[in-house]
Structure 1
Amino acid sequence: MADYAERRRTMVDTQVRPSDVTSFPVLDAMLTIPREAFVPDARRDLAYAGAPVDLTATRQLMEARSIAKILQALDLQPGDLVLEIAPGLGYTTALLASLTDAVVAVEEDATLAAEAEAALSSQEIDNAAVLHAPLTAGSAKNAPYDAIVIFGGVAQMPQALIDQLKEGGRIMAVFMQGALGEARLGRKIDGAISWRVEFNATAPVLPGFERVAGFVF
Structure 2
Amino acid sequence: MSTTIDYAKARELMVEQQVRPWDVLDPRVLEVIAAMPREEFVAPEHRNLAYADLALPLAHGEAMMKPVLEGRTLQALELKATDDVLEIGTGSGYLTACLGRLVREVVSLERHADLADAARARLCAQHVDNVQVIAADALSYATERKFSVICVTGAVDAIPQRFIDWLQPGGRLFVVRGRSPAMEAVLVRNEVNAPRIQSLFETDLPYLAGAAPAPTFEF
Deviation at 1:206, TM superposition (A): 1.2
The normalised TM-score by structure 1 is 0.93
The 5-angstrom pairing of residues 186-201 of structure 1 reads: 186-190=188-192, 192-201=194-203
Post-superposition CA distance 1:54-104 (Å, at most 9, x none): 112521111111111111111000000000000101000000001100100
Post-superposition CA distance 1:127-182 (Å, at most 9, x none): 011001112245624x2100001122111222222111101100011113132211
Q: Does 1:66 align with 2:69?
A: yes
The normalised TM-score by structure 2 is 0.92
The 5-angstrom pairing of residues 102-117 of structure 1 reads: 102-117=105-120
Uncovered stretches (5+) of structure 2, i.e. residues with no partner: none
Letter in 2 for 1:27: L
CA distance in 2, matches of 1:202, 1:134: 22
Q: Does 1:20 align with 2:26?
A: no
- Across the aligned residues of Structure 1 and Structure 2, the Cα RMSD in angstroms comes to 1.6
Q: Does 1:210 align with 2:212?
A: yes
CA distance in 2, matches of 1:191, 1:207: 31
Deviation at 1:191, TM superposition (A): 6.5
Greater shift, 115-124 or 48-57, is seen at 48-57
Judge conservation of contact 2:179–2:213 (CA < 8 Å) in 1.
no
- What percentage of residue pairs aligned between the two structures are identical? 37
Judge conservation of contact 2:180–2:204 (CA < 8 Å) in 1.
no
Larger Cα-atom Rg:
2
CA distance in 1, matches of 2:40, 2:154: 20
Match of 1:175 in 2: 177
Uncovered stretches (5+) of structure 1, i.e. residues with no partner: none
Match of 1:160 among 159, 162, 176: 162
Match of 1:86 in 2: 89
CA distance in 2, matches of 1:208, 1:166: 25
Match of 1:30 in 2: 33
